[in-house]
C-alpha cells in the first residue's frame, strides 16, 4: 500500500510518547549506573584501594617495578590501559596521588622522579607522563607478598584477555593507613589516615583482647602534611565507634623575630595554600587584617612555607588566633568511614574495620597456607616415589633401557616399583646423569623436612589462634620495618586558645528596668535625668527589678525552665522610659513558652545566687559558677528542677533574709548558715519546715526589703525551722 505524501497543508501529529512510571525508569536506567559508580569506582574496599588504584599497582607489579628500575610514567599508563579502560589522563591522575612526590599519602605506594605537583596546592600542575619516572615503593612488598599463592580471587579484565585480582592481599590495614576520599551516587566516603606503627600495634592488641581501648594506642589520625589536631577525646571516641564525625585541625607556625614575619610550615590536610592566601588577601582588601603588610608562598626545595609579613608592634600569637578564626588555617575534617565489604557499602567504626580486615586477612593467610600444603604434598609424593627406586637403581635403568616403546616407559616403571602415574612420570624425566645413588639420597633426604613442615602448616591452619599469632607477627615486622613517628601533633581542648573579637563598646552608666512580663528597658543615665515621663507598661505589668549598670556589663537572665541566658548590655538596644522596652524571650532567643524570672548584672562575678524552692529548701551557689570562657549564650541546669522555684536573689555577701510561707508562717535567717554549693543544679538544704500539709514557701526577700517592723521575732538560730506566725502589726505587709 502506497504511503500518503504529507503536503504543506497537512497538519503533522506526532505519535504519542510511551508513558513509563518514574520508579521503573530509575530502576532500569539509573540504578545500574549508580551501583556501578559505587562498586566499581568511588568507594574503597577492605584492602584500602579503589579499582583504579588496584589495576595500576597490579600492572606495575607485573611489569617488574617492585624492586626494579624506574620507568617512564607513560609506559606504566599504557600498560594499565589493558586493565583500566578509562583513558590515559585518568590513569595518570590516579598514579600522581600515589607518588611520594605528591605528598598525599602517609606511606606513598609509588617512588617517583620528576614533578608530580603537591597535595597542598591546587595550582601546582604535575608534569606530563612522558617526563616523569616511577616504580613501586618497597612497602608494596606487603601488598603482593602472597599474591601468587591463590590468596585472592582473580577475574577476567574488561575484554577477557587478562586476569586481575579483585583485592590485593595487603598484610596491614592499608584502609586506615592512607587517606581515601570518594564521591559516589547518593553516598560518599572520607577516611582519614592513621599512623602505621599505631595501627599495627592497635590491631595486635585487638587480636589479643577484643575489648581493649584502642584509643589508648592510636589516639587520633595522622596526616602526611602534619599540622595539629584540636583533640577532644569524646569527639574522637564517637568517630572511632560510629565511623562518622569531625575534628578540627590547625596550621603550625613559627615567628621569625629578625624579619618580623610568621612562617607557616604545616597546614590542615583539607585545605590548600592558594585557598589560604586567597582568603587572607580578601580580608586585607576588606580592611579586616590591618596587622598584615604582605603574605606570599615561599614553598621551595626545603619544603612547604607560607610567609606572612607583620606590621610593627603586632602580636604574632594574637594574629594567628585571628587567622585561625577567619581563614582555612583552621579547618575541619569530616569523617565518613564508608567502604565496600563484599560489594556492599558499609559505614564502620574503627573496630568494625579491624574485624573486617582481620576476617579478610585470615582468608588470605589460610589460602596461602593451603597453597603451600598442596605444593609440599605434591613434592612429597614425588620424592616418596623416587625413594622407592633407591633400593634398585639398576632395575630402574634396565626397565627404561629395555622398553622398546617410549609410551611403555611409564607403565613399566609403575609396574616394576608400584608407583602411580605421576611418580613414574617424574622418575622418567630425570636425566640419565642423575640416576645415581648420591642424587637420589640427597633428594629423598628432604622427605623428613617436608613431613615436619606439613605437620606445622596443618597445625597452624587448624587453629585460628595460631593464624592470629602469625598475622600479629607479620604486623610487628611491618611496623618495625616501615613505621614512622607521628607527623600530626595533638593539642588538647584545655590548651586551645580561641580568638575573641573585642568589640569597641561605648561605655556609659545606665539603669536597667525588668518587668514581671519579661520586658527590659535599658535607659541611659542622661536620658533618665532628662525625662519627665512615667514608665509605659503593658496592662497589669509592673517593674520587678531596677539594676544600676554600665553599657559594657554582662547580663544573666534566669528563666522558669532552669536555664540562664547570657548577653552583653551593649548588644541590647537603648530604650526610653516612655517605651515598652525589649521583650527578653525574643531578644535572647528563649525556647518556646520559656519566661524570664530574674536578671543579674554580674560585673566581676562576686557574691552568690540564693534559690528558694516551694518545698522549703534553699540553694546557695557562687555567681562565679556562671562565668564562662567561651561565648556561650545559654547555660542549662542553671538551678535545680526537683522542686518548683518560689524565688531567687543575688546577694553580694551574707545577710539576713526573710522567707514567707503561704500558711502565714515567717522565718528570718542569716544566709551564712546556708552552706555554699559548687554545683549549680544542687537541691540545697532544708531551711523552712513546712509543718502544715500542702503549705509551700512562697516568697524570699532580704530583711531590709521585707517590710517587717522587727525581724527578731522571726529570727532562728538553727535551720531547718518552722518559723513563727505573722504578727498582727506586720499583717498589712504580707502578701497573703
DSSP characters over 446-475: HHHHHHHHHHHHHHHHT-HHHHHHHHHHHH
Reported as a pLDDT band with limits 50, 70 and 90, residue 500 is low
Which numeric CATH code is attached to 49-169?
A: 3.90.199.10
- State pLDDT tens for residues 225-262: 999 999 999 999 999 999 999 999 999 999 999 999 99
Overall average pLDDT of the 483-489 stretch: 94
Query: What single DSSP character describes residue 15?
Result: P
Q: What is the 3-state composition of the chain as percent helix, strand, coil, each rounded to the nearest 5? A: 35, 25, 40
Quote the CA–CA distance of 636 and 649 in Å, as a whole number: 19
Question: Is 126 marked active-site?
Answer: no
C-alpha cell read off for 622? 557562687
Closest CA to 191 of 339, 351, 41, 355: 339
CATH superfamily name and code, 604-629+637-736: DNA gyrase/topoisomerase IV, subunit A, C-terminal (2.120.10.90)
User: Cell 599540622, residue?
Assistant: 227
Inform me whether the pLDDT recorded for 2 exceeds 60: no
For the residues 588-608, what does the mean pLDDT come to? 90
Confidence of residue 477 (pLDDT cuts 50, 70, 90): very high
- What pLDDT does 327 receive? 94
Question: Residue 734 pLDDT > 60, yes or no?
Answer: no
Under the banding of pLDDT at 50, 70 and 90, the label for residue 86 is confident
Q: What span, in angstroms and rounded, lies between the C-alpha atoms of 597 and 650?
A: 13
pLDDT of residue 631: 67
The dihedrals phi and psi of 53, each to the nearest 5 degrees, come to -65, -45
Residue 20 or residue 9, greater confidence: 20
According to the per-residue pLDDT averaged within each range, which of 198-212, 392-406, 592-606 is highest?
198-212
Please report the sign of the dihedral spanned by the C-alpha atoms of residue 726, residue 730, residue 733, residue 736: positive
Enumerate residues 6+ apart whose C-beta is below 8 A from 96. 102, 116, 117, 126
Which of 468, 183, 189 lies closest to 354, judged by CA? 468
Q: What pLDDT, on a 0 to 100 scale, did the predictor assign at position 368?
A: 94
Q: What is the pTM of this model?
A: 0.68
- Here the cell at position 529 is 535625668
Stretch among 175-184, 325-334, 389-398 having the lowest mean pLDDT: 389-398
Mean pLDDT of 683-687: 91
Could you give the percent of the chain with pLDDT greater than 90?
57
Asked if residue 535 has pLDDT above 90, the reply is: no
Tell me which of 131, 231, 605, 639 is the catalytic residue. 131
- Under 8 Å between Cβ of 133 and 101: no
pLDDT top residue among 589 and 362: 362
- State residue 557's pLDDT score: 93
Average pLDDT along the chain? 89
Query: For residue 702, what is its C-alpha cell?
Result: 532580704
Give bridge partners of residue 229 from the DSSP assignment.
249, 490
C-alpha cell at 388: 622407592
- The string of pLDDT tens digits covering residues 285-330 is 988 898 899 999 998 888 899 999 999 888 899 899 999 999 999 9
Q: Are strands 519-524 and 617-622 parallel, antiparallel or unpaired?
A: unpaired
pLDDT of residue 79: 95
Cβ atoms of 270 and 120 within 8 Å: the answer is no
pLDDT tens, position by position, 110-154 = 999 999 999 999 888 999 999 999 999 999 999 998 899 999 999
Confidence band, pLDDT 50/70/90 cuts, at residue 736? very low
| Model confidence pLDDT, tens digit, residues 632-672 | 688 889 999 999 999 999 999 999 999 998 888 889 999 98
Domain ranges of the chain: 49-169, 252-328, 355-482, 503-603, 604-629+637-736
* Nearest residue to 370 (alpha-carbon basis) of 267, 454, 311: 454
Residue 428, pLDDT above cutoff 90 = no
User: Residue 52: pLDDT above 70?
Assistant: yes
Query: What is the predicted pLDDT for the residue at 323?
Result: 93
Residue range 205-232: mean pLDDT, rounded: 94
What is the per-residue pLDDT for 116? 95
What is residue 133's predicted lDDT score, i.e. its pLDDT?
96
In Å, what is the CA distance from 130 to each residue of 69, 76, 88, 615?
16, 10, 12, 85
Q: What is the mean pLDDT of residues 344-367?
A: 95
| Upstream peptide bond of 539 is cis (omega within 30 degrees of 0) | no
Q: How far apart are the first and last CA of the chain?
A: 108
Copy the grid coordinates of residue 724.
513563727
Rg (CA), the chain: 41
Quick count: other Cβ atoms within 10 Å of Cβ 383?
Answer: 18
Residues 6+ apart with CB under 8 A from 282: none
Q: Quick one: what percent of the chain has pLDDT higher than 70?
A: 95
- What's the rounded mean pLDDT across residues 19-25? 79
pLDDT for 506 beyond 80: no
> Would you say residue 600 has pLDDT above 70?
yes
* Residue in this structure with the C-alpha cell 592488641, named with its chain if needed: 205
Predicted confidence at residue 735, as pLDDT, reads 44
Question: Sheet of 656-661: strands edge to edge?
Answer: 697-702, 656-661, 665-670, 724-725
Which of 11-20, 343-352, 463-472 is predicted with the least confidence, judged by mean pLDDT?
Answer: 11-20
* Sequence-ordered strand ranges (E) for 81-194: 110-113, 133-136, 154-156, 163-165, 180-183, 188-191
* Residue of 570, 554, 567, 550 whose CA lies nearest to 508: 550
Average pLDDT over residues 146-171: 93
* CA within 13 Å, CB half, 577: 15
Chain centre distance of CA 428: 65
71 pLDDT more than 90: yes
Average pLDDT over residues 34-51: 86
d(CA 73, CA 91): 10
From residue 593, how far is each of 506, 561, 572, 586 by CA, in Å?
A: 34, 9, 21, 11
In this prediction, residue 326 carries a pLDDT of: 92
In degrees and rounded to multiples of 5, residue 475 shows phi and psi of -65, -40
Secondary-structure class of domain 252-328 per CATH: alpha beta
Read off the C-alpha cell for 160. Answer: 577477557
Of 8-12, 453-457, 545-549, 689-693, the least confident: 8-12
Closest C-alpha among 691, 266, 327 to residue 486: 266
The mean pLDDT value for 78-104 works out to 93
**Residue 46 has which C-alpha cell?**
577492605
Q: Top-level CATH class of 355-482?
A: mainly alpha
Amino acid at each position: 500500500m502506497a504511503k500518503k505524501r504529507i503536503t504543506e497543508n497537512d497538519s503533522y501529529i506526532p505519535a504519542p510518547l510511551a508513558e513509563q512510571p518514574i520508579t521503573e525508569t530509575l530502576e532500569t536506567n539509573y540504578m545500574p549506573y549508580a551501583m556501578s559508580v559505587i562498586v566499581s569506582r568511588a568507594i574503597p574496599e577492605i584492602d584500602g584501594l579503589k579499582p583504579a588504584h588496584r589495576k595500576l599497582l597490579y600492572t606495575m607489579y607485573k611489569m617488574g617495578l617492585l624492586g626494579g628500575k624506574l620507568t617512564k610514567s607513560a609506559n606504566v599508563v599504557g600498560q594499565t590501559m589493558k586493565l583500566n579502560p578509562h583513558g590515559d589522563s585518568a590513569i595518570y591522575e590516579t598514579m600522581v596521588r600515589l607518588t611520594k612526590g605528591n605528598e598525599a599519602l602517609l606511606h606513598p605506594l609509588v617512588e617517583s622522579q620528576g614533578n608530580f605537583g603537591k597535595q597542598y596546592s591546587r595550582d601546582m600542575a604535575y608534569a606530563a607522563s612522558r617526563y616523569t619516572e616511577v616504580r613501586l615503593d618497597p612497602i608494596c612488598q606487603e601488598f603482593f607478598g602472597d599474591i601468587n599463592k591463590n590468596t585472592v580471587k582473580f577475574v577476567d579484565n574488561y575484554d577477557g584477555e587478562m586476569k586481575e585480582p579483585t583485592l590485593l592481599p595487603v598484610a596491614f590495614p592499608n584502609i586506615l593507613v592512607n587517606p581515601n576520599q570518594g564521591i559516589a551516587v547518593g553516598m560518599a566516603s572520607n577516611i582519614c589516615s592513621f599512623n602505621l606503627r599505631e595501627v599495627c600495634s592497635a590491631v595486635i592488641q585487638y587480636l589479643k583482647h577484643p575489648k581493649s581501648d584502642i584509643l589508648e594506642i592510636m589516639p587520633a589520625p595522622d596526616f602526611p602534611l602534619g599540622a595539629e589536631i584540636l583533640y577532644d577525646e569524646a569527639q574522637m571516641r564517637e568517630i572511632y565507634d560510629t565511623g562518622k564525625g569531625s575534628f578540627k585541625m590547625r596550621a603550625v607556625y613559627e615567628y621569625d623575630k629578625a624579619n618580623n614575619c610568621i612562617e607557616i610550615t604545616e597546614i590542615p590536610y583539607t585545605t590548600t595554600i592558594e585557598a589560604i592566601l586567597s582568603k587572607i588577601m580578601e580580608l586585607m582588601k576588606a580592611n579586616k587584617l590591618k596587622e598584615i603588610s604582605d603574605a606570599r608562598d615561599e614553598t621551595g626545595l626545603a619544603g612547604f612555607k607560607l610567609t606572612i609579613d607583620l606590621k610593627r608592634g603586632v602580636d604574632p600569637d594574637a594574629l594567628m588566633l585571628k587567622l585561625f578564626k577567619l581563614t582555612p588555617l583552621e579547618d575541619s575534617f569530616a569523617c565518613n568511614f564508608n567502604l565496600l565489604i563484599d560489594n556492599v557499602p558499609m559505614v564502620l567504626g574503627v573496630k568494625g574495620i579491624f574485624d573486617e580486615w582481620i576476617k579478610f586477612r585470615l582468608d588470605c593467610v589460610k589460602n596461602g597456607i593451603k597453597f603451600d600444603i598442596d605444593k609440599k604434598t605434591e613434592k612429597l609424593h614425588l620424592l616418596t616415589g623416587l625413594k622407592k627406586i633407591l633400593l634398585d637403581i639398576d632395575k630402574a635403568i634396565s626397565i627404561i633401557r629395555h622398553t622398546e616403546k617410549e609410551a611403555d616407559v611409564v607403565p613399566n616403571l609403575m609396574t616394576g616399583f608400584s608407583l602411580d602415574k605421576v611418580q613414574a612420570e617424574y622418575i622418567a624425566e630425570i636425566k640419565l646423569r642423575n640416576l645415581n645413588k648420591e642424587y637420589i639420597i640427597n633428594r629423598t633426604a628432604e622427605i623428613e623436612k617436608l613431613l615436619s613442615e606439613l605437620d606445622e602448616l596443618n597445625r597452624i591452619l587448624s587453629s585460628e589462634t595460631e593464624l592470629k599469632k602469625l598475622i600479629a607477627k607479620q604486623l610487628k615486622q611491618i611496623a618495625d620495618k616501615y613505621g614512622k613517628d607521628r607527623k600530626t601533633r595533638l593539642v588538647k581542648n584545655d590548651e586551645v586558645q580561641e580568638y575573641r573579637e573585642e568589640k569597641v563598646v561605648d561605655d556609659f552608666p545606665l539603669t536597667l528596668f525588668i518587668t514581671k512580663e519579661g520586658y527590659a528597658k535599658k535607659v541611659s543615665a542622661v536620658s533618665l535625668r532628662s525625662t519627665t515621663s512615667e514608665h509605659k507598661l503593658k496592662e497589669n505589668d509592673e517593674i520587678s527589678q531596677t539594676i544600676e549598670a554600665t553599657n559594657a556589663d554582662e547580663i544573666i537572665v534566669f528563666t522558669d525552665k532552669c536555664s540562664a541566658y547570657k548577653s552583653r548590655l551593649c548588644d541590647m538596644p537603648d530604650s526610653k522610659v516612655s517605651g515598652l522596652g525589649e521583650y527578653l524571650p525574643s531578644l535572647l532567643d528563649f525556647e518556646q513558652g520559656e519566661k524570664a524570672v530574674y536578671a543579674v548584672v554580674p560585673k566581676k562575678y562576686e557574691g552568690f545566687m540564693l534559690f528558694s524552692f516551694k518545698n522549703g529548701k534553699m540553694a546557695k551557689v557562687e555567681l562565679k559558677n556562671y562565668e564562662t570562657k567561651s561565648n556561650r549564650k545559654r547555660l542549662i541546669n542553671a538551678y535545680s528542677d526537683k522542686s518548683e522555684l518560689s524565688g531567687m536573689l543575688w546577694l553580694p555577701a551574707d545577710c539576713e533574709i526573710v522567707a514567707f510561707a503561704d500558711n502565714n508562717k515567717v522565718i528570718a535567717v542569716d544566709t551564712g548558715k546556708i552552706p555554699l554549693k559548687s554545683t549549680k543544679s544542687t537541691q540545697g538544704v532544708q531551711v523552712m519546715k513546712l509543718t502544715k500539709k500542702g503549705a509551700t514557701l512562697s516568697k524570699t526577700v532580704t530583711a531590709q526589703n521585707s517590710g517587717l517592723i522587727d525581724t527578731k521575732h522571726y529570727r532562728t538560730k538553727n535551720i531547718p525551722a518552722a518559723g513563727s506566725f505573722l504578727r498582727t502589726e506586720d499583717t498589712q505587709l504580707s502578701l497573703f
